[in-house]
Amino acid sequence: MDNHDVIPDVDEALCALLGDALSGRAAVSLDPPPAGPGAKPPNQPHVHAALIAVREDKEGLNSDWEEIRDPDSGAIVGRRAPIRRFDLHYVVTAHGADTASEHALLDAVIQAVTSELRVAAAHLPKKLAELDLPILIRLDEPADDPMHRSDQRMRLGVVLNAPVVPPIQPVSPAPDRMRLDAVAGRPRPPAPRRVPGPLRERTIAERPGGDDGAPAGSAEPGA
């Protein structure tokens, strides 16, 4: 399968998860919230999930290559470098009519994030779902970032842990399965010569020594 785009696919998965949890009570945006002097709040309730950091999950590192086998023959057809995983850190804020409504929106986010350890398949885009690898999700301390330092609004830290899957590197077939003319740049071997006339097998009587090693047609002494 084709490589997936890690950050856009995880963005889409998070928006689908939060949108389902909010049930239309607020729009979900990946843009940072309005900030700074004169910033105008959104016209309707919003939940902002701004990506502020991407860090490799060093605890999940693996040094072993994976062997890819043909499903029918079981032969090794490729190898893949170790899958690496990354933590995508989001800062989630809510903008509503008042503080109480903002807290209710954030509570819905907490319930959605903590209900499962992994994002449900229904919220994953197609390519991410086809990997058949878990997309983990958790709450965490909001990572420090300049865009939220001046905003005293309540913030949540949401972290999604996603894999980066390297492409499969094909391997050469085993020597007993390799055709000589399949090697690039090598000329094809000459076709075998056809022997004229049928070849018939020699019977035991026609072979010198017969079946027991005695000359054909000889009789035992005294017979």
CATH code reported for the domain at 6-170: 3.30.2000.10
More confident residue, 208 or 134: 134
pLDDT band of residue 161 (cuts 50, 70, 90) is very high
Averaged over 184-211, what is the pLDDT? 58
Q: pLDDT tens digits, residue range 110-150?
A: 999 999 999 999 999 999 999 899 999 999 987 666 555 55
Q: How confident is the model at residue 160, as a pLDDT?
A: 97
Q: pLDDT tens digits, residue range 45-82?
A: 999 999 999 999 988 777 777 777 878 887 877 887 88
Give, in order, the Cα–Cα distances in Å from 55 to each of 89, 119, 159, 193.
8, 19, 10, 66
Q: How confident is the model at residue 1, as a pLDDT?
A: 42
Cβ(206)–Cβ(216) below 8 Å: yes
Cβ(180)–Cβ(16) below 8 Å: no
Averaged over 98-107, what is the pLDDT? 94
More confident residue, 214 or 121: 121
More confident residue, 219 or 76: 76
Give, in order, the Cα–Cα distances in Å from 162 to each of 54, 60, 131.
10, 11, 11
Model's pTM, two decimal places? 0.68
